[in-house]
């Protein structure tokens, strides 16, 4: 496998100060270098099938880790989970969902009291505002139900493409692929769906993964990234797919 080589840095690091500051604050997932993407041997359909057959054998019914009791609370949990851990969100939502598991109950609770419930979650002020606004919109535009199309879900305050993909997959059984930091890393490292943006990885995975695995593929990849293909120290020695993985730095 070709080794990743770095290009020498340009002589003049002509990055304007302002721009450097702006990029430093945005926590974007690290995409692979152009050269490494080209060097990776493409996966064959049989290899991709084999990977997901192994995931299925090891964990036939994978579950997401965000706690929820219905599609509405799933939607709220996903909105709250941006730049936060599932465990942190669950800690806050357990008590919240006992008293506010519908859009109307959430509106009745009100933004101020909602903030109290979720104040341990990052960006909680903005998220509280969004959850109240999305509850109001669900009541005014969608009869109090979580809408079933991507465009409608994305029209809700605080909900983007990833939220729509999670809700469509988990609440309505659609074959969508939500790309979070774990899926982005696994898609790139394995070489199965290399891409510089979450959208590129999402489309790549959707193209590669056979339909029979798509319902659970999102969870298999998240769990694989969360517990095996760890960001700093991937556990390649216990990895189910280490013989197929294309990552030049894998440790087996």
Q: 59 vs 228, which CB is nearer to ligand SF4?
A: 228
Q: How far is the CB of 77 from ligand SF4 (least distance, A)?
A: 27
Contact 214, 175 (CB under 8 A): yes
Catalytic residue among 180, 207, 233, 250: 180
Binding site for ligand SF4 (CB under 6 A): 189-190, 228-229, 234-236, 239, 241-242, 245, 247, 250
Polymer length of the chain: 252
Catalytic residue among 21, 38, 108, 162: 162
CA distance 153 to 201: 21
Q: 56 vs 115, which CB is nearer to ligand SF4?
A: 56
Q: How far is the CB of 39 from ligand SF4 (least distance, A)?
A: 15
Q: How far is the CB of 85 from ligand SF4 (least distance, A)?
A: 20
Cβ burial of 83 (10 Å; 0-12, 13-18, 19+) is exposed
Which helix (H) or strand (E) segment holds residue 153: the answer is helix 150-154
Verify whether residue 180 is a known catalytic residue. yes
Q: Which DSSP category does 9 fall into?
A: P
Q: 124 vs 220, which CB is nearer to ligand SF4?
A: 220
Contact 127, 119 (CB under 8 A): no
Verify whether residue 86 is a known catalytic residue. no
Residue positions annotated with a catalytic role: 162, 180
């Amino acid at each position: 496998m070709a080794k990743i080589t770095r290009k020498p840095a340009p002589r003049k690091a002509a990055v304007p100060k302002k721009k450097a500051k702006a990029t430093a604050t945005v926590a974007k997932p690290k995409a692979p270098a152009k050269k490494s993407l080209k060097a990776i041997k493409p996966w064959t359909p049989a290899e991709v099938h084999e990977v997901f057959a192994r995931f299925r054998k090891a964990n036939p019914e994978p579950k997401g880790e965000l706690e929820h009791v219905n599609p509405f609370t799933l939607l709220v949990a996903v909105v709250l989970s941006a730049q936060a851990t599932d465990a942190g969100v669950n800690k806050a939502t357990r008590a919240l969902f006992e008293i506010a598991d519908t859009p109307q109950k959430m509106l009745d609770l009100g933004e101020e009291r909602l903030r109290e419930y979720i104040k341990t979650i990052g960006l909680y002020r903005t998220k509280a505002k969004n959850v109240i606004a999305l509850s109001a919109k669900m009541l005014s535009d969608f009869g109090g139900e979580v809408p079933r199309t991507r465009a409608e879900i994305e029209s809700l305050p605080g909900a983007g493409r990833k939220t729509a993909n999670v809700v469509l997959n988990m609440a309505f059984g659609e074959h969508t692929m939500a790309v979070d930091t774990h899926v982005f890393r696994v898609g790139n490292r394995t070489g199965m769906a290399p891409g510089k943006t979450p959208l590129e990885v999402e489309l790549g995975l959707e193209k590669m993964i056979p339909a029979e695995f798509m319902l659970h593929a999102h969870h298999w990849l998240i769990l694989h990234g969360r517990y095996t293909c760890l960001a700093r120290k991937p556990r390649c020695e216990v990895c189910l797919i280490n013989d197929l993985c294309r990552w030049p730095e894998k440790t087996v």
